[in-house]
Structure 1
Amino acid sequence: MNTLARNFSHTFRRFFTASVLNIIGLAIAFASFFVIMTQVDYDLNFNKGYKNYEKIFRLEIKPNEEWGWQLWTPRPIAELIGTASPHVQAYAMTGWVNDNDYEVNGNLFNETTAFGFGDFMKVFQPEMIAGSTDALEKKDNVLIPASMAMRMFGSTDAVGKMLFQSKQSDNKPVTVGGVYKDFPENSQIGNHIFMPFDPDQDKNDWGNWNYTCYYRLDNPANVSEVEKLAFQQLLKVAPDDLREGLKQEKDNSNFFNLAPLSEVHFSKIGNKSASSRTTVYLLICVSFLIIIVAAINFMNFTLAETPMRIKSINTQKVLGATTGSLRRGLLAESVLISLIAFAASIVLLLILRDSGVQDLVTANLSLSKHLPLIAATFGISILIGVLAGLYPSFYVTSFPPALVLKGSFGLSPKGRKLRTILVCFQFFVAFMLIIAIGIMYTQSRYIRTSEYGYDKDAIIVGEMTQEARKQKDAVVEELSRISGIEGIAFSQFVLNSGDTYMSWGRGEGDKSINFACFPVDYRYLDVMGIRITDGRNFKPSDNGVYIFNEAARKKYPWMAVDMPSTPGDWNVVGFCENIKFSTFRNNDSTEPMAFIYVSKAKLWSYENTVNVRVSAGTDKVEIIRSLQKAMEKFTPGHDFHFRFMDQVLDNAYRNELRFTKQILLFSLLAIVISIIGVFGLTMFESEYRRKEIGIRKIFGSTTGEILRMFNKRYLYILIGCFIVAAPFGWWIGQHWLEGFAERTPIRAWIFLTSFLLVTAITMITVTVQSWKNANENPANSIKTE
């Protein structure tokens, strides 16, 4: 052990730069591996925190070809499937998840609330800390998670305590009937306040497709039988129009299916931005590629030290040290360096824990939550130390002592070939990732710079509270006093915030229409800058009218201004130009949508969102402060979440942007580690070729010619690696683009830029590293021979 410590200390001091670079490269690789694998673990174990999760299924349904596959279904269909077979142990029908204010002991809390029918939590079977899920069978009883109970009451013993919806003065109390243990972060049903619907809501109503449904079976193997029995029941009791369509189907497969809950995280149905298994596998590959690249650097650095250590090692041979003991010592040094790098990576993770690195992944980066992953990374560090030290330890002890001491040893052609292959692999990884990130960047830029059909750069959006909705005229008056504000309007949804919105179907037969529906107030189109192409804008006195986009008029040519959209429906008062209303995952230029205005709406409210138009050149940050301050007059202490449309877009594409940032960061790391590898290999070769360099200079070669000699070899390597890596980078980028209906073409400059970037960095590294030996006195280079 003393010998190991002495040798390690001596080597570290003598080759300080190489040793530090070794440790930095490995530490970055280990930290990157941990960060990436937390995301992988989050995705692959999504929805596996529920009791017997493999028995839970989600209903996916396709009402017709035009609507396609979706999650929303009418209550009668959901109940029919739930009662069609004794193999169904429980079923849950849930509606929208809303943000609501609750007052407790004078404190206001904004929490998410999920609604369902009856004891819909029997499907998910949460671990109850207090009370029972049966409490949901009682009117005005709710379940809350333990973390929420601690925030509101300071204790999980909260059964029987009261929450007041909105404000206590509104006198809408609900009672805590149970407290459940928080579900894991990677769960389909989050940690909400669970509240029952009115038991008669939408009962026997086949027309309202409003609910998402989950089923717990006694055995996953019985899912096909449940689907078959439910389909047979539908054929008997469904309304005539639905039953006629089902009779044309051989089985349920083209109308509905029950998807395992463990798979829905990767399903695009209901969530076009969902993760994909291919993306997860790509992240796994990237994590191991970075580890491999760092291990290659480690081995190359160890080999680079060979010319300077070989005499010392073989002197020990002459003095009686066995080859085996020398190899074990060198191997132990390699493992020790790797373990030091692992310790450094832990420190790095602790330092970066509260930085922007957390935004790269959905999972919590707390080390205590990922102890098995820490153990796995520790094991990998030992394995890398062993593997990276094996070849150098055998290589450096393979020369005959007499030959080495005389100084007539040379560079092994096989060893040189191996090191070249390893560096080629590093370049391959760097090129591949840079090309992929270039493709992702151009699509992200395309999303931000495209025309949306409205003045998105002039719009700030915020949330409305119940108190503010009751005083919308006062809100308009108050906000209009703020300097720089040109207009205020209300809407139920925020444009471009999601893939799907409220969908309406109207009419029958040849005169039926399906469209996305946006409830707004009469000021909305003016405030947003949406141009009317035919007819007129909304008037304050309108009550139940449409303004359709041009895509709707093209698809349904019978629609006309001042005529009902379909027989018996509301009137169409105008048409507007096609705008980008959802995301680039949809082709909005062909999808019908309509703005609707109902001045006397009773069943729902269109004032969920306030849209504020600001004048050009206005300080938007200051405007947001002023808006927040003004709105607090209506609901003191509430965060109205005012944000720019750019922030809305970032949230809409958060999964894609997160993956782009991941690939960007790890591409940069791959480049850095690869350049460290080039540094090591150049150091190795320049030391071995000192005599050759000296002889060339004696015969008249200049420093520039020597440097060109080194650079020329790397240029050939770079060209070959680029040719091989380009198709792989294209494939990664193309796969990522498949999630978008509207996408930018893959440009040639992306490939050229990636080649020039890596080549320039490599040439600079080789030149800097070779400069010393190229300028050395030739006499010093050859005097040892």
Structure 2
Amino acid sequence: MNTLARNFSHTFRRFLTASVLNIIGLAIAFASFFVIMTQVDYDLNFNKGYKDYQNIYRLEIKPNEEWGWQLWTPRPIAELIGTASPHIQASAITGWVNDNDYEVNGNLFNEPMMTGFGDFMNVFQPEMVTGSTDALEKKDNVLIPVSMAMRMFGSTDVVGKMLFRGKQSDNKPVTIGGVYKDFPENSQIGNYIFMPFDPDIDKNNWGNWNYTCYYRLNNPANVSEVEKLAFQKLMKIAPEELQEGLQEEKDNADFFHLIPLSEVHFSKIGNKSASSRTTVYLLICVSFLIVIVAAINFTNFSLAETPMRLKSINTQKVLGAKTSSLRGGLIAESVLISLIAFAVSLVLLLAVRNSGIQDLVTADLSLGKHLPLLAATFGISILIGVLAGLYPSFYVTSFPPALVLKGSFGLSPKGRKLRTALVCFQFFVAFMLIIAIGIMYTQSRYIRTSEYGYDKDAIVVGDVTQDARKQKDAVVSELSRISGVEGVAFSQFVLNSQDTYMSWGRGEGDKNINFACFPVDEHYLDVMGIRITDGRNFKPSDNGVYIFNEAARKKYPWMAVDMPATPGDWNVVGFCENIRFSTFRNNDIVEPMAFIYVSNAKNWSYENRVNVRISAGTDKVAVIRSLQKAMEKFTPGHDFNFRFMDQVLDNAYRNELRFTRQVLLFSLLAIVISMIGVFGLTMFESEYRRKEIGIRKIFGSTTGEILRMFNKRYLYILIGCFIVAAPFGWWIGQHWLEGFAERTPIRAWIFLASFLLVTAITMITVTVQSWKNANENPANSIKTE
């Protein structure tokens, strides 16, 4: 052990620069590996926190070709499927998740709530801390998670206590019937307030496609049998109109299917921004590529040190040291450096845990929550140390003790080929990742700079509380007094915030229409800057009218101004320009949509969001502060989440943007690690060739010619690596673009820019490192052995 410590200390000091570069490169790689794999672990284990998760399935259904596959289904269909087979143990028919205000002991909390029919919690089977899921059988009883109980009451002993929806003065109490252990953060059904529906809502309504359904089976092997039995039962019991459509289907596969809950995270149905397994596998590849690049650096450094340690090793052999012990010591030195790098990576992770790096992943980066991953990273560090030291240790101990080696493995044909191959792999990774990130950047820029059909850069949006809804006119008056505010309007949704919105079907037969529906107030189109192309805008006196987009008029040519959209339906008062109302995952230019206005909307409240138009040149940050302060007059202490449309877009594309940022950051790290390797290898190579450089200068070579000699070799390597890497980078970028219905073409400049970037960095690195020896006095160089 003492010998190992002495040899390691001596080697570390002798090759200080190389050792420090090794540790930095490996530490960055290990930290990157840990961060990426937390995201991979989050995605691959999504929805696996429920009891017997493999027995839980979600219903996906396709009412017709025009609607396509969706999650929403009528209650009768959901209940019929739930009773179709004895293999189904429980059914959960759930509605929307809504954020509501709740008052507790004078404090206001905004919390998500999910409602369902019957004993719907029997599907998810939460672990109860106090109370029971049976409490939901009683009217106005709710279940809450431990985290919410602690936040509201500071205790989990809260069964029987009251929550007041809205404010206590509104007199809408609900009773806490139980407290359940929080589900993991990577769960489909989150930590909500669970509450039962009124048992009579939509009981026999086959036309209200408004519920999402989950089923617990006794065995996953029975899923096909369950689907067939449910389809047969639908054929017998469903209304005649639905049966006519079902008779055209050969089996259930064209109408509905049950998807395992563990696969829901990767299903694009109902969530076009869902993660994909290919993306997860790409992240795994990126994480290992970064580690491999760092390992290559380590191996190259070890190989480069070899010729300078031959005399020392041979001397120890002459003095009686065993070859096996020498090899073991060299490998142990390599492992020790790798373990030091692992320790440094832990320091890096602790330092960046609360920084912007957390935004790159959806998982918590706390080391204590990922102990198996931490152990795996530790194991990889040992493996890299062994592999990096294995070949050099066998090579350096393979010579007879009496042999005096003049020359260098680093410059021998065999050594040059091995080093060249390792450096080529590093450049291949750098080119591939930069090309991919270039493609992603152009699409992201395309999304931000495209025309949306309304003045998105002038709009700020915020949430609206129940108290504020009750004082709509006062809210408009209060906000309009703020300097820079040009207009205020209410809407149920925020444009471009999601893939799908409320979908309506109207009419029958040849006059059947389907469209996205946006409930708004009478000022909305003016505030947003949406242009009317035919007819008129909304009036305050309108009570149930449409303004369709031009895509709807093109698809349904019978629609006209001042005429019902379909027989017996509301009137169409106007048409507007086609706008981008959802995301680029849809082709909004051909999708029918309608703004609706109901002056006396009793069935729903469409004033969920407030849209504020800001005049040009206004300090938007200051306006947002003023808006928040003004809205607090209606609900003190509430965060109204005012945000720019850019922030809305960032949230709508959060998965794609997160993946882009991940690839960008780790591409840069891969380049940094690769350049560390090039720097170190050039340092050793220029040292090996000092005598050659001196002789060349004596025979008239200039400094520029010597620098070109070093750079020329790397230029050829770069060209070859780029040719091989370009198709792989294109494939990664093309796969990412497939998630968008509207996308920008892949430009040639992306490939050119990636080549020039890596080449410039490499040439600068080689030139800087070779400059000293290229300018050294030839007399000093020739004396060097």
Fold-level match, TM-score > 0.5?
yes
Match of 2:644 in 1: 644
The residue matched to 1:533 in structure 2 has which SS?
Answer: strand
Partner of 2:669: 669
Secondary structure of the residue aligned to 1:203 is coil
**8 Å CA contact retained: 2:307, 2:408:** no
- 2:476 is the counterpart of 1:476: yes
Whole-Å separation in 1 of the counterparts to 2:504 and 2:309 = 77
Deviations 1:290-319 (A, max 9, x none): 010000001111222234333333332333
The Cα offsets for residues 233-258 of structure 1, whole Å up to 9 and x where unpaired, read as: 11111111110010111110000000
Secondary structure of the residue aligned to 1:404 is: coil
Q: CA deviation at 1:405?
A: 6.2
**Is this contact kept in 2: 1:304–1:683, CA < 8 A?**
no
Partner of 1:373: 373
Q: Which amino acid aligns with 2:13?
A: R
In structure 1, how many angstroms separate the alpha carbons of the residues matched to 2:399 and 2:687?
A: 17
Kindly provide the amino acid, as one letter, of the partner of residue 162 in structure 2.
M
Give the match for residue 595 of structure 1: 595
Q: Give how far 1:8 is off.
A: 1.3
Please state whether the residue corresponding to 2:454 is helix, strand or coil: coil
Q: State the identity as a percent.
A: 90
Distance 2:222 2:509 in 1: 37
Q: Is the 8 A contact 2:127 2:181 kept in 1?
A: yes
What is the identity, as a one-letter code, of the residue corresponding to 1:373? L
Q: Which residue of 2 aligns with 1:424?
A: 424
- Residues 456-486 of structure 1, C-alpha deviations (whole Å, 9 max, x = no match): 0000000000000000000001111101000
Cα distance in structure 2, aligned partners of 1:397 and 1:484: 78
- Residues 472-515 of structure 1, C-alpha deviations (whole Å, 9 max, x = no match): 00000111110100000000000000000000000001110000
Question: Structure 2 counterpart of 1:265, which letter?
Answer: H
**The residue matched to 1:115 in structure 2 has which SS?**
strand
Q: CA deviation at 1:703?
A: 1.4
Q: Is the 8 A contact 1:706 1:774 kept in 2?
A: yes
AA at the equivalent of 2:725 = A
In the alignment, the residues of structure 1 paired with residue 600 and residue 526 of structure 2 have an alpha-carbon distance, to the nearest angstrom, of: 21
Counterpart in the other structure of 2:746: 746
Given residue 507 of structure 2, which amino acid in structure 1 is its aligned partner?
A: G
Deviation at 1:9, TM superposition (A): 1.3
Contact 1:505–1:514 (CA under 8 A) maintained in structure 2: yes
Q: Compared with structure 1, are the counterparts of its residues 777 and 411 closer, same or farther at alpha carbon in structure 2 (3 Å cutoff)? A: same
Shift of 1:227: 0.6
Q: Distance in 2 between matches of 1:124 and 1:10?
A: 61
Q: Whole-Å Cα distance in 2 between the matches of residues 498 and 569 of structure 1?
A: 27
**2:61 is aligned with what amino acid?**
I
CA distance in 2, matches of 1:408, 1:295: 22
Residue 783 of structure 1, CA deviation: 2.4
Report whether the alignment pairs 1:175 with 2:146.
Answer: no
Distance in 1 (CA, whole Å) between partners of 2:730 and 2:492 is: 40
Contact 1:307/1:687 (8 A) holds in 2: no
Q: 1:780: Cα distance to partner?
A: 2.6
Please name the residue that 1:684 is paired with: 684
Larger displacement relative to structure 2 (50-59 or 692-701):
692-701
The alpha carbon displacement at 1:768 in A equals 1.2
Task: Please say if residues 410 and 416 of structure 2, whose CA atoms lie closer than 8 Å, have aligned partners that are also in contact.
Answer: no
Task: For 1:458-537, list aligned pairs within 5 A.
Answer: 458-537=458-537
Contact 1:407 1:784 (8 Å CA) reproduced: no
Deviates more, 1:272-281 or 1:702-711: 702-711
- 2:115 maps to 1:115: yes
Structure 1 counterpart of 2:583: 583
Correspondence for 1:714: 714
Unpaired stretches in structure 1, ≥5 consecutive residues: none
CA distance in 1, matches of 2:627, 2:447: 28
Give the equivalent residue in structure 2 for 1:762.
Answer: 762
Q: Residues 387 and 379 from structure 1, CA distance in 2 versus in 1: closer, same or farther, beyond 3 angstroms?
A: same
List per-residue Cα deviations over 1:393-416 (Å, max 9, x = no partner). Answer: 223333444443667888331121
Could you report, residue by residue, the CA deviation over 1:736-776 in whole angstroms, capped at 9, with x for unpaired residues?
A: 00000000000001000000000000001111111222222
Question: 1:632 — aligned with what?
Answer: 632
Once residues 606 and 408 of structure 1 are traced to their aligned partners in structure 2, the CA distance between those partners, rounded to angstroms, is 78
For residues 607 and 312 of structure 1, what CA distance do their matches in structure 2 show?
81
SS in 2 for 1:305: helix
Q: Distance in 2 between matches of 1:231 and 1:429?
A: 50
Q: Quote the Cα distance in structure 1 between the aligned partners of 2:157 and 2:694.
A: 83
Deviations 1:577-610 (CA, angstroms, capped at 9, x unpaired):
0000000000000000000000011000110000
Partner Cα distance (1:710, 1:698) in 2? 18
- Aligned counterpart, 1:200: 200
Distance change >3 Å, CA 609–CA 428, structure 1 → 2: same
Alignment of 1:620 onto 2:620: yes
Cα root mean square deviation, aligned: 1.2
Judge which range, 42-51 or 680-689, deviates more: 680-689
Change (3 A) 1:286 1:254: same
Sort the Cα spacing of 1:406 and 1:388 in 2 relative to 1 into closer, same or farther, 3 A: closer
Which residue of the partner structure matches residue 279 of structure 2? 279
Aligned mates of 1:304, 1:758 — CA distance in 2? 23
Tell me which residue corresponds to 1:331.
331
SS at match of 2:64: coil
**Separation of aligned partners in 1, 2:691 and 2:311:** 17
Q: Deviations over 1:619-651 (max 9, x none)?
A: 111101100000001001100000000000000
- Residue by residue over 1:116-144, the C-alpha shift from the partner in whole angstroms, topping out at 9 and shown as x without a partner, is 11221100000000111111111000000
DSSP 3-state at the match of 2:404: helix
Q: Is this contact kept in 1: 2:581–2:588, CA < 8 A?
A: yes
Q: Which amino acid aligns with 2:658?
A: R
Q: Any residues of structure 2 matched to 1:154-169 within 5 Å, and which?
A: 154-169=154-169
Secondary structure in 1 aligned to 2:639? coil
What is the TM-score of this pair, normalised by structure 1? 0.99
Take 2:763 and 2:778, find their aligned partners in 1: how far apart are those partners?
24
SS in 2 for 1:769: helix
Q: In the comparison of the two structures, how many residue pairs are matched? A: 785
Deviation larger for 401-410 or 635-644: 401-410
**AA matched with 1:561:** V
| Equivalence for 2:30 | 30
The corresponding residue for 2:439 is 439
Query: Match of 1:751, as an amino acid?
Result: F
Indicate the residue corresponding to 1:415 in structure 2: 415
Distance in 1, matches of 2:62 and 2:389, equals 58
Partner of 1:187: 187
Q: Distance in 1 between the 2:303 and 2:425 partners?
A: 17
* 1:119 and 1:135 in contact (8 A); partners too: no
Distance 1:676 1:62 in 2: 55
- Measure, in 2, the Cα distance between the counterparts of 1:769 and 1:310: 25
Alignment of 1:282-293 (within 5 A): 282-293=282-293
Q: Residues 168-209 of structure 1, C-alpha deviation per residue, up to 9 Å, x if partnerless?
A: 010100000010000001100000000111110111000100
Change (3 A) 1:275 1:410: closer
CA–CA separation in structure 2 for the residues paired with 1:466 and 1:409: 77
Tell me the equivalent position of 1:555. Answer: 555
Query: Which stretch of structure 1 is more off in the superposition, 19-28 or 517-526?
Result: 19-28
Q: Residues 99, 367 of structure 1: CA spacing in aligned structure 2 closer, same or farther, 3 A cutoff?
A: same
Counterpart secondary structure, 2:124: coil
1: CA distance, partners of 2:466 / 2:604: 12
- Distance in 2 (CA, whole Å) between partners of 1:421 and 1:400 is 29
In the alignment, structure 1 residue 16 sits paired with structure 2 residue 54: no
8 Å CA contact 1:403, 1:409 repeated in 2: no
Question: Counterpart of 1:78?
Answer: 78
The secondary structure found in structure 2 opposite 1:499 is coil
Name the structure 1 match of 2:220.
220
Give the letter for the 1:173 counterpart.
Answer: P
Question: 1:72 is aligned with what amino acid?
Answer: W
More deviation, 13-22/360-369:
13-22
Structure 1 window deviating more from structure 2 (392-401 vs 489-498): it is 392-401
Unmatched tracts of structure 2, length 5 or more: none
Pair 1:729-2:729 in alignment: yes
Partner of 1:250: 250
CA deviation after TM superposition for structure 1 residue 571, in Å = 0.4
- Aligned counterpart, 1:700: 700
* Normalised TM-score (structure 2): 0.99
C-alpha separation in 2, matches of 1:12 and 1:401: 24
2:511 & 2:777 partners in 1: Cα distance?
91
Q: Quick check: 1:545 aligned with 2:539?
A: no
